[in-house]
Amino acid sequence: MPTTDPSQIEVDGIKIDLRNRSLAALLAWLLPGAGHLYQGRYAKGGLYMVCILFTYLVGFAIGGAHVVYASWIPGDRRWHYVCQLGVGVPALPALVEGWRMKQATIVDRDVAGRVSGYRTPASWEPLFGGVMAPPRRPVREQEADEVSAWYARHGAGYEMGTWYTMIAGLLNILVIYDAFSGPLSIPISGRKKKTEDDDEDDKPADAAPPKTSGKRNAGKPDSGKTSTGKTSTGKTPAGKTTAPARSKASK
């Protein structure tokens, strides 16, 4: 019994080897386009890598390298990072800086033991010169803090940079899916594979027999008449006479 390889698909008559789908998806997440390069789909892999990384880096630059960071404390729940993480390795240093910030953050409590705020000690320093590091605590809405300083320094670029990096991460989610499942398994060119039934339909119908003339005379003997009404013997039918033709001279 023939077996089908789940890594092999066919689209428009072209066979595509997706190889190890899970590994391709992992590579596509770590670096946009890497999964397609692993599968030998070099054109797509190169296109995805250039477009997505360019979008991410442009947003990162216009945001002053502060738009990508991981934080989940009251007043600074950075949900944007969930989208940015889709771009893979370029966003991973933010996890390291976020974990270090969490370890160094001091939690203030009131007399009842409830959390009243968060503070970053003055001795704490980020690893990469502040790149992808969360803002220093406290971070409070409607108050001056480090996030407010970033907005003031970069203006609209900070907001645009945040959206650019988010879009890059979301686009790479689609790339990961394409690396895992391959392109659409339906003909994208409009062509379809012909079957035996289609071949039968394409054959021309049998030609109809040619029509025969003189159906009315079928089965009747030839009377021997000519177009002038005379018989083949030169005589006119019985009871009929023909007038002799006059010449112009006799007139």
Taking only the tens place, the pLDDT of each residue in 126-164 is: 988 889 999 988 876 666 788 888 888 998 999 999 999
Q: What is each CA distance from 224 to 12, 216, 228, in whole angstroms?
A: 69, 16, 11
Instruction: HSE, CB side, 13 Å, CA atoms: give it for residue 60.
Output: 19
Quote the CA–CA distance of 194 and 234 in Å, as a whole number: 68
Contact 50, 61 (CB under 8 A): no
Look at residue 180 and tell me whether its pLDDT is greater than 60.
yes
Give the SS3 label for residue 22.
helix
> What does the pLDDT average to over 78-106?
94
106 pairs with which residues across the strands? Answer: 119
What is the secondary structure of 182-238 as a DSSP string?
Answer: -S-SS-SSS-----HHHHHHHSPPPPPPPPPS-GGGTTSPP--B-TTS-BTTSPPPT
User: What pLDDT score does 194 carry?
Assistant: 56
Name 46's bridge partners.
Answer: none
8 Å CB contact between 134 and 97:
yes
Domain ranges of the chain: 8-181
87 contacts 168 by C-beta, under 8 angstroms: yes
Strand partners of residue 119: 106
pLDDT of amino acid 122 = 86
Q: Give me the residues paired with residue 150 across strands.
A: none
What pLDDT is stored for residue 23 in this prediction?
96
pLDDT confidence of residue 138 = 80
| HSE-up of residue 120 (Cα within 13 Å, Cβ side) | 19
pLDDT band at 187 (very low <50, low <70, confident <90, very high): low
- Residue 82: per-residue pLDDT: 96
Dist CA 69 CA 77 (whole Å)? 10
At 207-236, the pLDDT tens digits run: 556 665 555 555 555 555 554 555 555 555
pLDDT the model gives residue 130: 86
Residue 251's pLDDT is: 43
Query: What does the chain come to in residues?
Result: 251
Identify whether the C-beta of residue 8 lies closer than 8 Å to the C-beta of residue 18.
Answer: yes
Q: What is the pLDDT of residue 205?
A: 59
- Tell which wins on pLDDT, 191 or 76: 76
More confident residue, 204 or 49: 49
Q: Are 107 and 120 in contact (CB under 8 A)?
A: no
Rounded CA-CA distance 77/72 in Å is 4
Rounded Cα distance between 173 and 83, Å, is: 9
